[in-house]
Amino acid sequence: MQKELVLDFEDYKDKGLYLIFPDSTKLTLTRAAIERSVDLFWKDPNKIPSSIKEAAGFQKCDFCPLKDQPDMCHALRPTMPFLDIVDKYVSYSEVIAVFKREADMVHVAQTTMQDALKFVSILSLVYYCETGKKYWKYFYGINPLMDAQEIATRFYLNVFMLHDGDRQSIDRLLTAFRDEITLASQNQAVRLNMVCKNDAFGNAFANTQVTSLILSMNMEEALKASFAEFEKRRQPQIPSY
């Protein structure tokens, strides 16, 4: 028996991700919510003990331009305020995800915690991360509720267009992205494992790493195969008489 989902879109005015759990718990992941709570979370010694803050694995990446500053890794900012509620669930917990991208566009999906949190991992690694910021423009038009293959395909098409199809320029960009984002996501997973009780956030960052590894494949061949499969599925059906 299917459950009826009723949403009041007045509750989703700000751009971002909203997660609704079976027990009616709601997690709001918007820029405003992040900025309101991140400083308070960082200053609360009961949230992150000084022993963790000072641990080697919790420090900024070696290639971070701000590695000598005493504050926390900027990529942690969108994850810190929500660790309490995330720790109540596991990566495969079912959740309704509502993603607000534009003023008049809302995406709704029934998914798992780790897939929904891809939004947070992408936001963390290519918007807040001081090294990853240069890749943000290549995520134009990407819906974080897409699967890894769809994200990689759209990312590649954006790279292709912005680099005018120049193969050498594209290859350099994809190699740099793969290397930097893979290392940043691995380091981020280590930091999160130091403050999380479960695997939901860690798996979300692993999924982002999967996307970067997909981009190391022969994307042109992968795109051709994807379009061929799409065309096969979408062939118009000729009625029989």
In a domain, 140, yes or no: yes
Domain region containing 144: 10-231
In a domain, 213, yes or no: yes
In a domain, 3, yes or no: no
Q: How many domains does the chain have?
A: 1
In a domain, 5, yes or no: no
Beta strand 105-112 with 94-102 is antiparallel
Whole-prediction pTM value? 0.77
In a domain, 100, yes or no: yes
Q: What is the pLDDT of residues 120-163, one digit of tens each?
A: 888 888 889 999 999 999 988 887 778 777 888 888 899 999 99
Q: What is the pLDDT of residues 181-230, one digit of tens each?
A: 888 888 888 888 888 776 777 777 777 776 776 666 677 777 777 677 77
In a domain, 137, yes or no: yes
Sheet holding 105-112, edge to edge: 26-30, 16-20, 94-102, 105-112
In a domain, 47, yes or no: yes
Q: Across-strand partners of 97? A: 19, 109
Q: What is the pLDDT of residues 59-114, one digit of tens each?
A: 999 989 998 888 889 998 888 767 777 777 777 888 888 888 776 778 888 888 87
Ramachandran area for residue 178 (φ above 0: left; ψ -120 to 50: alpha; else beta): alpha
In a domain, 82, yes or no: yes
